[in-house]
Chain A
Amino acid sequence: MESWIEWARGPAFRLALALLLLGLLRHVLLTVIGVREAMRKAGDKVLPGKRIRAAVLSWLFPVKRLGTRTVFSTASVIFHLGALLTPLFLLTHVVLVRESIGLSWPTLPPLGADLLTLAALLGLAVMLAIRVASRPVRVLSRFGDYALLVLTALPFLTGFLLAHPAWNPIPFGPAMLLHVLSADLLMALIPFTKLVHIALLPATQLVSEVGWHFIPDAGEQVARTLGKENQPI
């Protein structure tokens, strides 16, 4: 068991982290290049910067969004808060990093960490419940949507149990292994699933605007490729 845990937080973790960071970096770079390329070819070079910024900010800090779909929106916001803050600022995580590479940063107080973890779990539970119970989301959902919700919950759930041995029904070893492995898997999957929005969300409003910036001779080129150049309408 010990050696498995060592493997999961050693080589497997490093691989997952590399996949995560390189994967996200690749997406960001491809998007930046794609946008520049598209704008270079577009006839109209002007983008509505102010509107794009406003839209991006309204989703990054979705205070005003809480008004619509209040339960879902609130669940989503508290999940995101917990999911972003806890893994990065948990004392035990920071200690691990310090021991291995010497870097260190401020940490969350234990109560804060507990509350944020529970918030993340509660948020996930509510989102899952809505996905099952509300018709339009249910009919849109596919296996992957449920699987990702469950997979995302695992590291938080096991992490919480590890921090509170008194409530933990599973022995420490398997719980730790499950915790680290599920986190590894989640990190590795982020660039390949819809979770890639972690990196791309700020870009999508821009991408959508660029989408309306057409290439002046695209139509003629398409006609040529399809052999329709001189065809009457």
Chain B
Amino acid sequence: MERKLPYYTEPFERTGLARRFLDAFAAILTHSNYDLILDAYARLGTRCSRCTDLCQVYQATGRTEDIPCHRSELLLRVYRRYFTAPGRWKGRLFESFTLTDEHIYEMAESFYRCTACRRCKLECPMGIDHGLMTHLGRWILAEIDIIPKALLVSVREQLEGETKNTSAIPVPALIDNCQFLEEEFEEIYGVPVKFPIDVTGAEWVFFPAVSDYLLEPDTLMGVAAVMHVTKGSWTIGTGNFDGINYGLFYSDRMLGRIVRNEAKEVRRLRAGGVLVGECGHATRSATFLATYAAEDPPKLLNILQYTHRAWKEGRLGLKKGVIEERTTYHDPCNIARTNWIVEEPREILRHICADYVDMVPNRSENYCCGGGGGTVSIDEIREFRTGIGGKRKAQQIRDTGARYVVAPCANCKKQLREVCEDHGLSEVQVVGLHDLILKAIDWEALKAEAKAGPGAEPTAAAPPPGAETGKEES
């Protein structure tokens, strides 16, 4: 009987799975750097179980299969048996572990129960990065065509489809959309904010999660408003306007291709760099520009960093305390786990919100939303995502008593909305940071300025306290 996986895949060859898995594993080992970590991890695992304290999936299920160390061991066992000398000898001399179809299906299930949030690494005394094991395990599986269909079709459309983006938005629709948002600006605020398209020589090419064009108009308007006020030099490229990179979630091969396409668009537009929208994995995957466009890597900035810097330098005025409802902040794993972008959004939120509270734990120790590692796109596992993966997050949100949860990440937003829905947190609104910034900009002043005509300095609102001491962050 065909074993069922918890997610849909396209039909794949079911015979000779083990042999093909080993071939793919061998090929990857030959051409990549993974040998180094596998060798270290295979020796060092101490099986101390400290990681269980940190994994939101294990905490919700208590299942042995969900222990991070146990999951990594699934792959390490294959490595030891087939790719190390002692393992091969042992295999020859005694009856030892043999790779079976069953074991492969177990990995296929297990590596998609892990959200690759890398929280467990914080407590591993041996420094084992289980998220990296998940990352590698998924790549090997992908080479034998075991890939969640949701991820696969997105990447196919992005790399080889007509529209070249994961949401399959045709360019005319994109342009329409931007024009519509420009009209909104005129209508609501009376200010001519632009979405510049295909401008050559701009400093930044904008790469949001493309789904924002369909689902997050407020986030996009917030970004455009910031760019307008700060006179930012940016553009949306019609050659490539999608920051999503599901290669990060299942195949280094795809990761590289998608990243190179970003670099290509920056070069086509003779721009300076990549400005990533509110999206955690898009931001982290863009750090691989340094790998895949190493000859001449474009600069990289996340919009949170851009906005924070402008505000600190006094180029962006934001009204203090305009958001009255209690607000909290969800750290997207991909930008927070290494303490990379954690203070910038908080500083802004503390300024514009009258009642800001942090979730506990937070920053590098934050809990994953439960939809990380691309699992949020797999609709058929929603029950698992929100019931198990998102259980801890729901509790965290409830504990803050917040009305707004700010999550500067397209994936986190989708997942958190579903988590709130499934956990009865109907009064909670999940928004992007720039959705709130939109409300904190002094539109009256901007309108007056627009009336006064070009040449007038933007003075939207008072600069933040300490603006002159604002330090540059790289």
Contact = CB atoms under 8 A, between A and B. Distances in A.
Are A and B physically bound partners? yes
B252 A219 contact: yes
Contact of B290 (A43, A55, A207, A228): A43
Nearest to B24: A226
B188 interface: no
Given A48-B338, A136-B52, A194-B45, A207 B40 contact: yes
7 contacts: A44-B291, A48-B338, A140-B70, A204-B44, A211-B129, A214-B32, A232-B156
Given A43-B290, A219-B251, A222-B31, A34 B44 contact: no
B286 interface: no
B49 A207 contact: no
Contact of B294 (A44, A141, A208): A44
A68 B252 contact: no
B152 interface: yes
Interface in A34-49: 34-35, 38, 41-44, 46, 48
A142 interface: yes
B32 A194 contact: no
Interface stretch (A97-105, A109-117, A195-203): A195-203
A225 B338 contact: no
B91 interface: no
Contact of A214 (B121, B143, B291): B291
A137 B288 contact: no
B126 interface: yes
B288 A218 contact: no
Nearest to A205: B127
B160 A211 contact: no
Interface of B is mostly: helix
B36 A141 contact: no
Given A42-B291, A208-B128, A225-B30, 19 more contacts: A55-B127, A59-B127, A140-B49, A197-B46, A204-B128, A207-B37, A208-B37, A211-B33, A212-B132, A213-B33, A216-B256, A216-B291, A216-B292, A219-B253, A219-B254, A221-B27, A222-B24, A233-B159, A233-B160
A196 B39 CA distance: 12
B160 to A, nearest CB: 6
Return the 5 tightest CB-CB contacts between A and B, nearest first: A219-B253, A43-B291, A204-B127, A221-B31, A44-B290
Q: How large is the interface on A (under 10, 10 to 19, 20 to 34, 35 or more residues)?
A: 35 or more
B133 to A, nearest CB: 9
Nearest to B125: A59
B64 interface: yes
A78 interface: no
Nearest to A193: B43
Contacts of A188: none
B44 A200 contact: yes
B178 interface: no
A76 to B, nearest CB: 8
A51 B144 CA distance: 36
A119 interface: no
A221 B128 CA distance: 27
A93 B420 CA distance: 64
Contact of B288 (A44, A201, A225, A232): A44
B257 interface: yes
Given A35-B36, A43-B292, A232-B160, A69 B53 contact: yes
